[in-house]
Amino acid sequence: MNFWFELLQNILQIAISPTTAAFVLAAIGLNVHFGFTGLMNMGQAGFMLVGAYGFGVSVSYFGLGFWAAIAVAVGAAVVFAIILGIPTLKLRGDYLAIVTIAAAEVIRMVVKLAVLQDITGGPSGIPGNKYRPVFTELSPLPDGKTTILGITYANTGVDDWWTRIVAWGLVALFLLITWLLIRSPWGRVLKGIREDEDAVRSLGKSSYAYKLQALILGGIMGAFGGVVMALPAAMQPDSMGRPMTFNLWMIVLLGGAATIFGPLLGSILFFVVRLLLTSLAGEFIPSSLLNTQQTEQLAWVLIGLALILLVVFRPQGVLGNKKELSFNV
């Protein structure tokens, strides 16, 4: 009984954790790219990385304050989107996929460079306590701990309520922004581009400019995801690599591409199901048969298979509408 109760509590915890929120943020961005505009961005982790490092380096190396550092993070994502977008947005979808994945890898390799050790921390990244204080000092919460539904965290600290409030507040804000934009004429043009770019161009809309705007917007969301991901932990270049991008794709497809709440639902489902898999396996399969590491590997095998099954049998995800499906190449 105890196990099940704790499992339930764990599920709750994982559902509201800042990491989940970070994934939601980045997935909302990816959904703006892929779901609404049809851009095959395979480098969303790169946006998270430039955001996280833009923030972390600004604080830890340049000594900037919180808001300035956030501005740098956003600026870095904008620049990254422009650099990526200019050569690729005129090309066919699969080129964009290859170039974005390549650019995300390049940027990861660059921050890992040993010569940048002083600035980016090289391969080991930047420890959280070097940049977190600028964030925690903004907390209006009183000192101490708070327990909600049996879950206790410090109000303000390393992995605290303050981070959660801000993270989920951002999620709400971005959901609102996408909701407004998708129902606007701007969103209609994006949808048109997703359907047939040449048709939209023949009607006098610069599809290039719209795609670039979408890339920038989704990239900024990704950058916030990166910052939120780094706040309660440390900044790790390799935590924002290819697997991260693939996970985000999984999340967007799971929840339903081109829906407003798909990324939110997808992200929570993704984490909860993984938690269930690993903890159930840990509890009921003797470790002589399957140790923790192997459980983890099998969980990944299942994720891979789930991705295949999902995209083949239910490409619209949980919330999506098959009629509005956005695979068009």
Partner 1 sequence: MTRTTAITVSTKRPLGVALLLTLLLALFLGVFTASPAHAVECVPDAATGCVQGVIKTGAGDPAAGIKLTLKGDGESQSVETDAEGRWAFAITAAGTYSVSVEKSSLPEGQFFKSADTREVEAQLNSQASALFPLTDNEAEASGGETSTTGKGEAASSSSADSFSWPRFWQQFVSGIRMGLLISLASLGLSLIFGTTGLSNFAHGEMVTLGGLLAALFMGLTGNLWIAGLLAVVASAAFGWAQDKVLWKPLRKRRLSLMQLMIVSIGLSITMQYLFQFFWGSGVIRIDKSTPATWTFFGVTLTVQSYIAMGISLLAIIGVGLGLMYTRFGRATRAISDNPALARASGIDVDRVINIVWIIGAGLAGLAGVFLGLVFNGLNWFTGGQLLLMFFAAVTLGGLGTAFGAFIGSMLIGMMVELTNIWLPGDLKYATALLLLILILLVRPQGIFGRKERIG
Partner 2 sequence: MSDAAVRSNAHIEGYPYDREALRAELRTLDQVPGVAKRDPILTVDRIERRFGGMTAVNVAHLEVPRGAITALIGPNGAGKTTFFNLITGFDQPSNGQKLIGGGDARWSFNGKDLRRTGASQAARAGMVRTFQLTKALSRMTVLENMLIGANNQPGENIFVGLIPPLWKARERENVERAKDLLARFKLDAKINDMAGDLSGGQKKLLEMARALMSNPAMIMLDEPMAGVNPALTQSLLDHIQALRDDGTTVLFVEHDMHMVRHISDWVVVMAQGEVIAEGLPEEVMTSQAVVDAYLGAHHDKDLGDDDALNTGFMRAIATEIADEVEEETR
Token pair belonging to 36: 């609404």
- Residues 161-190 within binding reach of partner 1 (CB under 8 A): none
List binders of partner 1 among 192-251 (CB under 8 A). 198, 233-234, 236, 238-239, 241-244, 246-247, 249
The item of partner 2, partner 1, none sharing an interface with residue 192, based on CB under 5 to 8 Å by kind, is partner 2
> Token digits for 120?
């980016």
Torsion angle, alpha carbons of 13, 18, 21, 27, to 10: -120
Smaller CB separation from partner 1, 70 or 231: 231
Binding residue (CB under 8 A) for partner 1 from 62, 67, 179, 300:
300
* Number of residues located near partner 1, criterion CB under 8 A: 82
For residue 175, the partner it binds in partner 1, partner 2, none, with Cβ less than 5 to 8 A by kind, is none
- Is residue 78 involved in binding partner 2 (CB under 8 A)? no
Q: Choose between 132 and 264: whose C-beta lies nearer to partner 1.
A: 132
CA dist 167 and 16 (Å) reads 9
For residues 282 and 278, what is the distance between their CA atoms, to the nearest angstrom?
6
Smallest distance, partner 2 to C-beta of residue 180, A: 5
Q: Which residue of 82, 113, 180, 203 would you call a contact of partner 1, by CB under 8 A?
A: 113
The residue from 188, 243, 302, 304 that contacts partner 2 (CB under 8 A) is 188
How remote is the C-alpha of 183 from its chain's centroid? Answer: 23
Q: How far is CA 166 from CA 157, 158, 242, in A?
A: 13, 14, 26
Tokens describing residue 115:
């010569």
Is 154 near partner 1 (CB under 8 A)?
no
Q: Are 58 and 69 in contact (CB under 8 A)?
A: yes
| Among residues 90, 145, 183, 188, the one that binds partner 1 under rule CB under 8 A | 90
Which two structure tokens, joined as six digits, stand for 201? 């161009």
- The whole-angstrom separation of Cα 136 and Cα 164 is 12
99 binds partner 1 (CB under 8 A): yes
Is 2 among the residues that bind partner 1 (CB under 8 A)?
yes
Using CB under 8 A, pick the residue from 4, 118, 142, 198 that binds partner 2.
198
Q: Does 148 bind partner 2 (CB under 8 A)?
A: no
Q: Let me know if 47 is exposed, middle or buried by CB neighbors in 10 A (0-12, 13-18, 19+).
A: buried
- x-marked contacts with partner 2 along 199-218 as a string, rule CB under 8 A: xxxxxxxxxx----x---x-
Nearer to partner 1, 239 or 259 (CB): 239
Residue 185's binding partner, choosing from partner 1, partner 2, none, with beta-carbon cut-off 5 to 8 A by kind? partner 2
Q: Where are the alpha helices (DSSP H) in the chain?
A: 2-16, 18-30, 44-60, 66-88, 93-111, 117-120, 133-136, 161-182, 185-195, 197-202, 207-230, 242-255, 262-284, 292-313
By CB under 8 A, name the binding residues for partner 2: 177, 180-181, 183-189, 191-192, 195-196, 198-208, 213, 217, 323-325
